[in-house]
């Protein structure tokens, strides 16, 4: 099969991205990957100031596309198809990207390919490591946390996930509780290095329950309670802070490791020819978690990979690649492509319901 050149556009959350990817399914390379974000700005404000406005995406998306083309030294006429995130995400942002992609596709008479943002994340290990189907995916990006068995570009089986907060969010919120800078992942990890993980015994939510579902909201509350118990005069000693971080990180690691072990068991029953687990998202950058997951993979007889962080945060390259896989199968969309705020990857598996469920109604 000859090489395809795909333009990918992503604007479903805070960042605006555009990229050019060239190659074939399972063997493609990133020619350019432009992300116009505000991560640096966020840190300066202690919190996060998101680019929520559709207008902000709309203003940047053209520039991102232009820059992606020039950096890749590719002209629009050389592009075979335009791939764009059509959801899930903040609807204003998604719309901006979809409108831009439709405009380019219509002007050039090129095919349009709508991509599920989560599929973009889930297919990234095919782009970075050329993994073969089926592989196991632990997706822990931004607000997401789920185990997926990826069987094809459009075939995902969700074997579990968080029923409330994502671990990345728990790290951010624990950082807020402990007066540590955002983003919380790196700052909690850094403080945890000086702490005693055994001093505070935090719960391992849902560990006693079967299956691969996880819960992190209660853990955050447990940290809050422990903090309030050790605080005197509204201040926390550096050691308390470090110990709380270490105990929290150990609890997250223990839960993720055990649930990954179970998810891998389900996956290995499929007898994959080249068993692999890929962990994508900021949480994979945490050394303690990464080490634990590597061990779990080894024990299960599967290889471990974590795509580079640049391709795990929101970006256009993963959308271009996911679009490439769809396009290679002859799948395209027309001008009726709609932006979707919610779009689960696996419609068949039961939704993850928190403790707020109504009972066994469904």
Residues forming the annotated binding site for Fe cation?
117, 121, 314
CB of 87 to another protein, least distance (A): 11
The verdict on 144 binding another protein (CB under 8 A) reads: yes
Region binding another protein by CB under 8 A among candidate stretches 29-37, 59-67, 141-149, 183-191 = 141-149
Listing from the earlier edge strand, what are the strands of the sheet with 135-139? 155-161, 146-152, 135-139, 276-280, 303-305
The DSSP code for 38 is: -
The verdict on 112 binding another protein (CB under 8 A) reads: no
Query: What are the backbone dihedrals phi and psi of residue 198, each rounded to the nearest 5 degrees, phi first?
Result: -90, -10
The verdict on 209 binding another protein (CB under 8 A) reads: no
E-strand spans in the chain?
4-10, 16-24, 27-36, 81-87, 112-116, 135-139, 146-152, 155-161, 276-280, 303-305
The verdict on 134 binding another protein (CB under 8 A) reads: no
Give the contact letters, 312-341, x = binds to another protein (CB under 8 A), - = no: -----------------------------x
The verdict on 13 binding another protein (CB under 8 A) reads: yes
The verdict on 265 binding another protein (CB under 8 A) reads: no
The DSSP code for 207 is: T
CB of 220 to another protein, least distance (A): 6
Among 29, 225, 265, 310, binds another protein (CB under 8 A): 225
The verdict on 220 binding another protein (CB under 8 A) reads: yes
CB of 154 to another protein, least distance (A): 20
Positions at the binding site = 117, 121, 139-143, 172, 185, 189, 286, 314
CB of 90 to another protein, least distance (A): 6
CB of 37 to another protein, least distance (A): 14
Copy the structure tokens of residue 304.
Answer: 């471990």
**What is the residue whose two structure tokens read 């995406």?**
57
Alpha-carbon Rg for the chain, nearest whole angstrom, is 21
HSE-CB of 201 using CA atoms within 13 angstroms: 0
Spacing of C-alpha 177 from chain mean position: 24
Region binding another protein by CB under 8 A among candidate stretches 203-211, 223-231, 243-251, 300-308 = 223-231
What is the distance between the terminal CA atoms of the chain, rounded to a whole angstrom? 46
Among 221, 239, 274, 338, binds another protein (CB under 8 A): 221
9 Cβ contact partners less than 8 Å away, ≥ 6 residues apart:
17, 18, 61, 64, 65, 82, 83, 84, 85, 97, 100, 101, 316, 319
Smaller CB separation from another protein, 55 or 209: 55
Number of residues that bind another protein (CB under 8 A): 45
Give the contact letters, 35-74, x = binds to another protein (CB under 8 A), - = no: ----------x-xxxx-xxxx-------------------
Copy the structure tokens of residue 338.
Answer: 């709609």
Region binding another protein by CB under 8 A among candidate stretches 25-33, 69-77, 140-148, 304-312 = 140-148
47 to each of 54, 224, 234, 261, how far by Cα in Å?
A: 21, 18, 21, 34
- DSSP per residue over 42-65, as a string? HHHTSS------HHHHHHHHHHHH
Smaller CB separation from another protein, 193 or 225: 225
Region binding another protein by CB under 8 A among candidate stretches 17-25, 83-91, 147-155, 319-327 = 83-91
CA 100/CA 331 separation, integer angstroms = 20
Region binding another protein by CB under 8 A among candidate stretches 78-86, 202-210, 304-312, 345-353 = 345-353
Closest CA to 139 of 283, 251, 265: 283
Copy the structure tokens of residue 19.
Answer: 């990229």
For another protein, the binding residues (CB under 8 A) are 13, 45, 47-50, 52-55, 89-92, 142-144, 164-166, 169, 172-173, 176-177, 217, 220-221, 223-225, 341-342, 344, 350-358, 361-362
């Amino acid at each position: 099969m000859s090489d395809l050149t795909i333009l990918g556009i992503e604007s479903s959350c805070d960042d605006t991205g555009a990229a050019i990817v060239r190659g074939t399914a399972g063997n493609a390379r990133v020619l350019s990957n432009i992300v116009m974000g505000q991560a640096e700005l966020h840190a300066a404000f202690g919190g996060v100031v998101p680019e929520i406005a559709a207008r902000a995406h709309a203003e940047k998306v053209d520039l991102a596309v232009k820059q992606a083309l020039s950096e890749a030294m590719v002209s629009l006429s050389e592009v075979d198809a335009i791939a764009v995130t059509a959801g899930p995400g903040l609807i204003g942002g998604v719309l901006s990207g979809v409108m831009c992609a439709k405009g380019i596709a219509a002007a050039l008479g090129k095919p349009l390919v709508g991509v599920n943002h989560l599929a973009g994340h889930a297919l990234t290990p095919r782009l970075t490591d050329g993994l073969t189907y089926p592989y196991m995916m632990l997706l822990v990006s931004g607000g997401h946390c789920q185990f997926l068995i990826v069987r094809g570009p459009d075939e995902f089986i969700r074997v579990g996930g968080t029923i409330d907060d994502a671990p990345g969010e728990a790290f951010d919120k624990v950082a807020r509780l402990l007066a540590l800078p955002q983003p919380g992942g790196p700052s909690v990890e850094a403080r945890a290095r000086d702490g005693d993980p055994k001093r505070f015994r935090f719960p391992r939510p849902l560990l006693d329950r079967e299956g691969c579902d996880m819960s992190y909201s209660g853990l955050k509350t447990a940290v809050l309670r422990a903090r309030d118990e050790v605080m005197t005069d509204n201040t926390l000693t550096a050691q308390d802070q470090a110990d709380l971080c270490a105990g929290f990180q150990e609890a997250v690691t223990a839960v993720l490791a055990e649930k990954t072990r179970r998810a891998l068991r389900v996956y290995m029953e499929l007898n994959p020819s080249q068993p692999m687990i890929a962990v994508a998202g900021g949480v994979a950058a945490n050394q303690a978690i990464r080490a634990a997951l590597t061990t779990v993979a080894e024990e299960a007889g599967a290889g471990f990979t974590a795509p580079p962080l640049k391709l795990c945060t929101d970006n256009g390259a993963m959308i271009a690649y996911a679009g490439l896989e769809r396009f290679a199968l002859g799948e395209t969309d027309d001008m009726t492509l709609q932006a979707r705020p919610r779009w689960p990857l696996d419609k068949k598996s039961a939704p993850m319901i928190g403790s707020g469920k109504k009972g066994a109604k469904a």
